[in-house]
Amino acid sequence: AHVMGCLWASLAVCGSEDFTWFQFWGKENPGNGLYTKGEPVVVYMCALYWAVFTLTGIGYGDVVPFSPPEYVVATLCMLAASLIWAWVVANIVSIIATMKHSSNSHFHTIDYVNELLRDNAVEANLGRRLREYFMKTKEVKEQDFLNNTIDELSPELRIEVVYAVHGHWIEKVWWLKNLPPHSEFVVELAQNLKATLHTPSEIIPNRPELTIIRRGLCIRGGLLMTTGHVYGEDLLLNNEALRKPYITLVLTFLHTLSIPKPLFEQVLSRHPEAAPHIRKAFVIFAVMRGLLYRADMYRSAQKRRYDAPLLEVAAKSFYPSDYGSQRSSSVFADCEGSSELQRARLTKRWSNQSLNAAPESSLRKRVVEAELSSLSEQVSKVEARLRARVQGLEDLAARLTEQ
């Protein structure tokens, strides 16, 4: 525009002996003295005005050529301006299309889904769920784009970006915090996370994988989990019995990042510097979960020991015709060592009326109370020892973490 304006202004100044476009404009506006004086600033502003509306293709027509040279210059300027303006518009459109490339691709997918639903006469409810699902998959694609972008960075810059993006959940996995700061193992682990979108009311089975919730709500193990929560830290353990046997119920659309155990082991094999730290965390994890598992097994065994004979004795009390004397003796033989306690508990639960009629009921009651008191003391001592061991392991884990 500036070049065209200077060229057009030069025609008004150099062609002053002829009737120029500037002189005509002065006659069209006789009341304005600026046009009659012919000051260079005024001439340039009028020429720039002509250049802009010629370049943009508006063409008001209030500034027009009068001499042959002006017609030639105006024609060449209009041809050049049309090409320049087309190039400018094309570049602007290209920039806008590139900026919204992910959105355009996403909308193309939605269009394909709509065509699929229309051509196959899918039910309205299912169609609505499909559209909603694909609308939510945009976040999953953004995660893939982020991983591809991080892969193209330099090693140092990649570490900084990964810790800036994923640092909020790395701090919540206690055995990752024990690793050296800015570990390449953590960077590759984060880069191998797979983005998944789960629909409402979906059941996620219990699998050995580390999972991070990016967005949404779910229930796992009776706890409500939302954005930023992490579960599956026990994928380090090889024994299925030591891992938490929880399934996950999805409440809303759930966007998760997860890495399965086989892929985790592959990443770990490529970083031997992180193996000692993970091994130490594995030992601590196994001991803690092993103690809890043994405590649960002990409680279950105690419950079976005291409750199983009671069921048989209760059945004998309510259905005496189905049990002979031989059966009765075998039942009480199984309770040897604690028969008074078993019979007393059965008396209280199942056959209080029949045993109260017996003359030795008061003696049995005193014996039951004494044995119950002794048993309660033993259980309390066992629980205290278990709590002390678990507390000791937690202290040990804390010291190792500080080291």
Give the pLDDT confidence of 42-87 residue by residue, as tens digits: 788 888 888 888 888 777 777 778 778 888 888 888 888 888 888 8
Bridge partner list, 213 = 256
pLDDT at 107: 67
For the domain spanning 1-96, the CATH number is 1.10.287
Q: Sheet harboring 248-250: ordered strands across?
A: 203-204, 248-250, 218-220, 223-225
Lowest mean pLDDT: which of 3-7, 109-113, 240-244? 109-113
pLDDT at 322: 47
Residues of the chain with CATH 2.60.120.10: 136-289
Mean pLDDT on 325-353: 46
Query: H or E stretch including 18?
Result: none
Our measurement of the distance from residue 239's CA atom to the centroid of its chain's CA atoms, rounded to an integer in Å, reads: 27
Rounded Cα distance between 133 and 145, Å, is 19
CA quadruple 315, 319, 325, 327: dihedral, nearest 10: -40
Q: Give yes or no for residue 39 having a pLDDT over 60.
A: yes
pTM of the model: 0.53
Banded pLDDT at 95 (limits 50, 70, 90):
confident
Rounded Cα distance between 349 and 343, Å, is 10
Residues of the chain with CATH 1.10.287: 1-96
Burial class of residue 250 in the structure, from the number of CB atoms within 10 Å of its CB (0-12 exposed, 13-18 middle, 19+ buried)? buried
Bridge partner list, 210 = 259
Query: Looking at per-residue confidence, does 164 or 361 come out higher?
Result: 164
Among candidates 195, 255, 205, which has minimal Cα distance to 225? 255
Architecture of domain 136-289: Sandwich (2.60)
